Amino acid sequence: MKDIIIIGAGPAGVSAALYAKARGKDVLLLEKDKIGGLIANVSKVSHFAGVGDGETGPTFADRLADQVKYSDIPVLFEEATGIEKTAEGFTVQTNQGSHTAKKVIAATGNSLKELPIDLPAGFATKHWPLGQEESYAGKTVVINGGSDGASKEALYLAQKAKAVHMVQNQDKLLCIDEFKQQIEAADNIVVHTGCEVQDIKVEDGVCRAVNLGGEEITDEDGIEVYVQIGQNGNTDLLAPFAKVEGNFLAEDLAAQTEGLFFAGDIRVKTVRQIATAVADGCLAGIMACK
């Protein structure tokens, strides 16, 4: 039996594992995909104190993975599929077996929302432009969303795309001033507010028109469609132990169930950033050692 199982190797889970391991605990980190979590995909990591100029999601995730390795934290790439409270602690079922621990820290983070419309057969929207440059270079791109994440990825797309159309259902962009100013200064970004994508028209596998209700964005050469319209908490596993409010856990770091802790973006919070995720992980990791 382990002392502490941490589910999710994003910034919150890695932080929790580091603090618990440093306190002499026998920890196990479970990750269903890759170390780094959501941030591993972003085009540029900004505003987290200490990141270097030009830090990308993948380079940040690599450094997290290195830290896990040199800190001797055991990781299993398995998806947790169930948590059971037992007399001794917890059993965590995964897609490959089960593991027991005295305590569990759940840091399962969020998944990005998809467009709430039926997509034409064979057509897929994308979330992350980094690494996709060849597919949109010189083309028209539509990106849905107007938050910090959408704005940052729009700015990245604009470096290679012919034109970037941001489609925001609110009456203005909801991003920080820094991004707003850069968007205003970019001569190939058009912001469409108060509307949303209603239809994506595809012929011969190529999208040439995106309908926004009153307005249509067209390009005979093809249009790529990206989506950054928010996130849903990965709460399924935790719903039996926690209050779920609007897709996130309305819970403190220490759950009502003794020995269970929640950390990171999965919780209801006003700010979802690496800084708040690692702060949660630090606190949950230390609390779980007590």
Ligand X SMILES: Cc1cc2nc3c(=O)[nH]c(=O)nc-3n(C[C@H](O)[C@H](O)[C@H](O)COP(=O)(O)OP(=O)(O)OC[C@H]3O[C@@H](n4cnc5c(N)ncnc54)[C@H](O)[C@@H]3O)c2cc1C
Binding site for ligand X (CB under 6 A): 7-13, 30-33, 37-39, 42, 45-48, 79-80, 107-110, 149, 152-153, 228, 234, 237, 264-265, 272-275, 277
Please provide the DSSP assignment of 108-175 as one string: --EEEPPPSSPPPTT---BS--TT-HHHHTTSEEEEE--SHHHHHHHHHHHTT-SEEEEEESSSS--S
d(CA 4, CA 104): 5
Give me the least distance between CB of 137 and ligand X, in Å please.
Answer: 20
**What's the token pair of residue 74?**
């055991």
Backbone angles phi, psi at 163, to 5 degrees: -145, 145
- Closest CB to ligand X among residues 41, 140: 41
**What's the token pair of residue 282?**
């630090």
Q: What length does the chain have?
A: 290
**What's the token pair of residue 230?**
């928010």
- Closest CB to ligand X among residues 24, 50: 50
Cβ neighbour number for residue 222 with a 10 Å cutoff: 14
* Consecutive H or E run containing 205: none
- Closest CB to ligand X among residues 30, 164: 30
Give me the least distance between CB of 211 and ligand X, in Å please.
Answer: 25
Give me the least distance between CB of 243 and ligand X, in Å please.
Answer: 18
Give me the least distance between CB of 223 and ligand X, in Å please.
Answer: 20
d(CA 264, CA 6): 12
d(CA 110, CA 242): 16
Give me the least distance between CB of 232 and ligand X, in Å please.
Answer: 11
- Closest CB to ligand X among residues 155, 219: 155
Quick check: helix, strand or coil at residue 103?
Answer: strand
Backbone angles phi, psi at 158, to 5 degrees: -65, -20
- Closest CB to ligand X among residues 81, 211: 81
- Closest CB to ligand X among residues 32, 85: 32
- Closest CB to ligand X among residues 37, 89: 37
Give me the least distance between CB of 108 and ligand X, in Å please.
Answer: 4
Give me the least distance between CB of 88 and ligand X, in Å please.
Answer: 22
Give me the least distance between CB of 78 and ligand X, in Å please.
Answer: 7
**What's the token pair of residue 122?**
């064979």
Single-letter residue type at 223: I
- Closest CB to ligand X among residues 89, 109: 109
